[in-house]
């Protein structure tokens, strides 16, 4: 069954709208070629991201990290916090939306600075 703008795999839910729409288009074409759904989804997402990348434009990296007792969201080279919250969990929800809207990649760090999770690759 082909996917649509309103009915698509969960793995596409956090993609920016334009990337998701392209991923759906590509995944449906891959399905028509006889590939299984899992493979079609993976190919669709990867190719849609490539479609919207400029050679000179790399996706912005955002980092959630501890800052004293608070947690902050910063860009990779940022000196100032974009967002600040008391808890990592509160910041994570806001940061996910912000990074998704800006088509970025989100790195979530542990309290000691190690990368714990990478989202929206």
Same-domain status, 48 and 66: no
pLDDT at 56: 39
Same-domain status, 101 and 80: yes
pLDDT at 91: 96
Same-domain status, 65 and 45: no
pLDDT at 14: 87
- In contact, 118 and 105? CB cutoff 8 Å: yes
Residue 104 to residue 14: CA distance in whole angstroms: 11
- Bridge partners for 70 per DSSP: 67
pLDDT at 52: 79
Same-domain status, 45 and 66: no
Question: What is the number of structural domains in the chain?
Answer: 2
pLDDT at 107: 96
Let me know if residue 31 belongs to a domain: yes
* Interval 21-51: pLDDT, tens: 999 999 999 999 999 999 999 999 999 988 8
Residue 89 belongs to what domain range? 61-119
Residue 117 to residue 26: CA distance in whole angstroms: 27
- In contact, 82 and 45? CB cutoff 8 Å: no
83-85 and 70-75 beta bridge pairing: antiparallel
State yes or no: pLDDT of 57 exceeds 70: no
- In contact, 116 and 110? CB cutoff 8 Å: yes
State yes or no: pLDDT of 109 exceeds 80: yes
pLDDT at 54: 57
- In contact, 71 and 86? CB cutoff 8 Å: yes
Let me know if residue 1 belongs to a domain: no
Average pLDDT for the chain: 90
Same-domain status, 75 and 107: yes
70-75 and 61-67 beta bridge pairing: antiparallel
Structure tokens at 98: 């912000």
- In contact, 36 and 47? CB cutoff 8 Å: no
Same-domain status, 66 and 115: yes
- Bridge partners for 117 per DSSP: 108
pLDDT at 101: 85
Let me know if residue 45 belongs to a domain: yes
């Amino acid at each position: 069954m082909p996917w649509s703008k309103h009915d698509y795999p969960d793995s596409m839910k956090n993609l920016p709208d334009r990337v998701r729409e392209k991923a759906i288009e590509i995944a449906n074409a891959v399905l028509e070629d006889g590939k299984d759904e899992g493979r079609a989804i993976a190919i669709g997402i990867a190719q849609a991201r490539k479609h919207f990348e400029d050679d000179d434009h790399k996706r912005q990296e955002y980092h959630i990290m501890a800052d004293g007792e608070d947690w902050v969201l910063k860009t990779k080279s940022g000196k100032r916090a974009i967002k600040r919250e008391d808890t990592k969990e509160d910041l994570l929800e806001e940061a996910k939306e912000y990074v998704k809207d800006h088509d970025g990649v989100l790195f979530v760090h542990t309290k000691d600075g190690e990368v714990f999770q990478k989202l929206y690759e």
